[in-house]
Chain A
Amino acid sequence: DAGVTQSPTHLIKTRGQQVTLRCSPKSGHDTVSWYQQALGQGPQFIFQYYEEEERQRGNFPDRFSGHQFPNYSSELNVNALLLGDSALYLCASSLEGTGGETQYFGPGTRLLVL
């Protein structure tokens, strides 16, 4: 049973560029959430996708956008990158309904913005 997978594992970009991160949820899961973890901090909620719609969003600017595909996989896009966007980006999956509060995390994508 495959867990949550993310790609790429590491990424280096320069300021102003755009980046796309990818996530495949745990088998059987239909909900994907994205988190940003800055160095030395706890993860911060970016947004959550269910049924291909963004249904909840944290305190992040519109430069952060996402998408969920019919197979439940998801992408996180960040435009106009800033130095402060350097972080570990974590994807988590869950199953809507009973037990949906339990989220399982992938290994993350480490983004460095120069």
Chain B
Amino acid sequence: AQSVTQLDSHVSVSEGTPVLLRCNYSSSYSPSLFWYVQHPNKGLQLLLKYTSAATLVKGINGFEAEFKKSETSFHLTKPSAHMSDAAEYFCVVSDRGGSNYKLTFGKGTLLTVNP
């Protein structure tokens, strides 16, 4: 069984300061890991994904995440927050056992960016 734990339900930062959103995962197989972002009343947008290539993954809008197998973590970072980054962020795991790619979502982290 696969699961995801997002360690913070709410993170608040000031514009221009670094962002860190924490995620731990559990997976029976070699996992694929994703971060999705959801702006208010919108669908989910893929930020980045890890699928067993480089452990440091770069995504859109300056975000990146590092896969650490020993720590079962996949934290999302950005060097400098922008007001437009304010949204809900979901860490997601997909087991690559077989070809049925069911996604399991964390409960989300709400990012607030203060001026």
Contact = CB atoms under 8 A, between A and B. Distances in A.
B43 A108 contact: yes
Contacts of B100: 48, 55-56
Contacts of A4: 43
A44 B105 contact: yes
A45 B96 CA distance: 16
Contacts of B43: 4, 90, 105-108
Given A90-B43, A108-B43, A103 B101 contact: yes
Contacts of B96: 101
Contacts, number: 60
A58 B45 CA distance: 22
A45 B46 CA distance: 17
A103 B90 CA distance: 14
Given A42-B107, A42-B108, A104-B46, A48 B102 contact: yes
Interface in A85-106: 90, 92, 94, 96-97, 99-106
The 10 A-B pairs at the shortest CB distance, nearest first, are namely: A42-B105, A107-B43, A105-B44, A101-B101, A101-B32, A56-B100, A101-B94, A105-B43, A43-B105, A42-B107
Given A105-B43, A108-B43, 20 more contacts: A4-B43, A33-B103, A42-B90, A42-B108, A43-B44, A43-B90, A43-B105, A45-B102, A48-B100, A48-B102, A55-B100, A96-B99, A100-B99, A100-B101, A102-B32, A102-B49, A102-B51, A106-B43, A107-B42, A107-B43
DSSP majority for the A interface?
A: loop
B46 A102 contact: yes
Contacts of A56: 100, 102
Nearest to B34: A102
B103 A45 contact: yes
A105 B37 CA distance: 11
A101 B104 CA distance: 12
B105 to A, nearest CB: 3
